[in-house]
Every structure is written in C-alpha cells, then in structure tokens.
Amino acid sequence: MNKFGDFKTVLEVARLGSFSGAADKLDLSTSSVSRQVNEFEEWLGAPVFQRTTRQVSLTSAGEFFIDRLQRIVFDIDSLREEAKTLVQSVRGRLRITSALYYTRHRITPHLKGFLERYPELQVEFVLSDSTTDIIGEGIDLAIRIGQLPDSSLVSRKIDSVRLILAASPGFLKRHGTPTKPTDLTEMPCLVDTVPAHGKYWPIGKKVRVNSVIEANNGEMIRDLSLQGLGISYLPDFFVDDDLESGKLVQVLPEFEPDEVGVYAVFPPRRQISPNARAFVDWLISKQ
C-alpha cells in the first residue's frame, strides 16, 4: 500500500466530503478512492469517515487525526522539494583529498553510483597519505583516518577501521608466534610511519616495537609483510584480502585495539559546499 498516496486521498475526501468528488479531483475511480480510504482506516486502526447515502463526514477520530495528517503530508512534500533542490544544486567540481589505499578500497566502489546520481558533477581526487592544507589547497573535502587535531575545521565521522597485527605464515614458522605484546620488542617489525603512533604501537599498554624497516606507505609495508620480512600493523583495508586468502595471519588478536574513526573534514562550516555534503551523505549511506 502506498501510504503517502492514501494520505492525500483521505485529505481530499475530507476536504470535499465526497468519494466521487475526490475521485474526479485525483483522476481515480470511486472504487479506488474507497479502497484507499478503507486501507488507511485499517492501517490506522480507527474509522475516519462516517458514510451515509447522502454525505461523507469525519468521525470524532477523523477530526482528531486530520490536522496531523495535513502536517505530515506538508512535511513530506517539503522534504521532496528540498531533495530536488539539493540534487539540482550538486554540480560543478568537487575536490577531495584522501589516502590512496583507503580510497581504492572504501571509496572507489561507490563512485559509479554517486556520479549516476549527480551527473552534473566532476570529481577530482588528490590522493596522499600526508595531511593536506585543505584551505590553502582549495580542497572541498578531506577524508582522514584517526584522531583529529583541534582546529577550525568541521568533521563528521563516516566510517571506522580496525588496526591489525599480521605476518606471513612463513615468518611465523621461522620466528615463532608472539604470545604477548612485549614479544614485539624482540621480533622484526615493519613500521608504517604515516600514523601518529609510529613505532609505538598501541598494543596492550603501548609497545615500542623492533622496527627493521620503516616507510611512509602502508601498501609497501603490507608487501614486505607478505614477503615474510616482519610483523605489520596496518588498517584492515590493507590486509583483509590477504587474511582471507591465508597469505597473512593475524597475530595477538586478543590485544586488538578499539576501532579507529574515519572522518570527513570540511573547511569552516560557512564554506561547506552542497557537493561535499552530498558526497559524504552518499558514503555514509553505503556503510
């Protein structure tokens, strides 16, 4: 049953006091109007109209509910108009900065649907693992992972990621499997220097690991871990497929820290564009 259509039919019958009059106004058959009213009353659980051979009038319940029904229909109509205005205003260029690997795994799969929804929009990505000056660089939207520093920027949480300790089966066969966080101080570890924690991994009470290789690129760290050169500590989107295939094995899962937030970061609120708002709403709807 189309509730919104029934709402409008009920209001038209109430306004005209006639099923046939409402049918003419709405270009429906009288039987269709009667059916919609009956279904509405059944859904509501109370009779709205008192029918006689000469007239149709509101019951006491109908008089009570009709004003609220008018407000509901008005609000829904307003919502549709606002949505139409938003879609029409989403056009032009949207400049986004985001981490490369997160973008590939968590954003790229949703771009086709977004651009089909907003065909007058052109999107430019500036992919970097380093923090970009979004005001100075003319960025409309930044996607950032982890705790945000205090600033004049506006943020909205859009996703979360898990940080996972992982190593190849061959590495674990040669070096053994760590059983407690402090074991990481003696075993070869591969450090992604992009996160603020660096080589001080927040495992247990925070451990300064034995880093044999450091790099400011998580994909490189993941590749080195696959080669059996050490234990990596990376966001899940780097290693999920490898864990599923068995190329990597999660270690110390009982010490896995809380999830890390992913945030959409905007320039100060007065500068937020409809394009950026629409994109963030789209990403959140896909989680």
Main-chain phi, psi angles of 268, to 5 degrees = -50, 145
pLDDT in tens, 52-76: 777 788 888 888 888 888 888 888 8
Q: What is the mean pLDDT of the chain?
A: 88
Q: Are residues 235 and 120 in contact, defined by beta-carbon separation less than 8 angstroms?
A: no
Residue with tokens 């660089």, as numbered in its chain: 137
The C-alpha angle with vertex 131 and arms to 190 and 128, in degrees rounded to 5, equals: 70
Q: Which residues contact 205 (CB under 8 A, 6 or more apart)?
A: 181
Residues 168 and 254 in one domain: yes
**Which residue, 86, 108, 135, sits at the end of a domain?**
86
What is the C-alpha to C-alpha distance for residues 231 and 245, in angstroms, rounded to an integer? Answer: 17
Q: What is the pTM of this model?
A: 0.63
Q: How far apart are CA 182 and CA 204, in angstroms?
A: 9
> Kind of pairing, strands 188-192 and 210-215?
parallel
Strand order in the sheet with 154-161: 121-127, 92-98, 141-145, 260-266, 154-161
Mean pLDDT across the stretch 247-261?
92
Helix crossing, 19-26 with 30-44: angle to 10°?
110
Question: What share of the chain has pLDDT > 90, as a percent?
Answer: 48
Region 260-282: mean pLDDT is 85
**Tokens 């269709």, residue located:** 32
Domain boundary among the residues 86, 104, 131 is at 86
Q: What angle do CA 83, 26, 16 make, to 5 degrees?
A: 110
254: how many CB neighbours lie within 10 A of its CB? 7
pLDDT of residue 1: 42
β-pairing, 141-145 with 92-98?
Answer: parallel
* 145 and 176 fall within a common domain: no
What DSSP character marks residue 140? S
**Residue owning tokens 């959140």:** 284
Contact call for residues 160 and 264 (beta carbons, < 8 A): no
Residues 136 and 63 in one domain: no
Same domain, 147 and 186: no
40 has a pLDDT exceeding 90 = no
Asked whether residue 132 falls in the same domain as residue 195, the answer is no
Would you state the pLDDT for residue 150? 58
One domain, residues 108 and 174: no
**3 state SS of 217:** coil
Angle, helices 3-16/60-89, rounded to nearest 10 degrees: 130
Is residue 36 located within the same domain as residue 50?
yes
Strand partners, 159: 262
Report the alpha-carbon distance of residue 12 to residue 21 in Å, rounded: 8
Domain boundary among the residues 54, 86, 118 is at: 86
* CATH number, residue 19: 1.10.10.10
149 and 276 part of one domain: yes
Query: Count of domains in the chain?
Result: 3
Proportion of the chain above pLDDT 70, given as a percent: 93
Q: Does residue 102 share a domain with residue 65?
A: no
Which residues, listed in sequence order, are joined to residue 154 by a DSSP beta bridge? 266
Which CATH number characterizes residue 104's domain? Answer: 3.40.190.10
Per the structure, the complete domain to which residue 126 belongs is given by 92-158+261-285
Query: What angle do helix axes 3-16 and 19-26 make, rounded to 10 degrees?
Result: 120
- Considering the domain architecture, whether residues 79 and 96 belong to the same structural domain is answered as no
Q: Are residues 153 and 267 in the same domain?
A: yes
Task: Please tell me whether residues 184 and 250 are part of one structural domain.
Answer: yes
Q: What is the pLDDT of residues 195-243, one digit of tens each?
A: 888 999 999 889 999 999 999 889 999 999 999 999 999 999 999 999 9
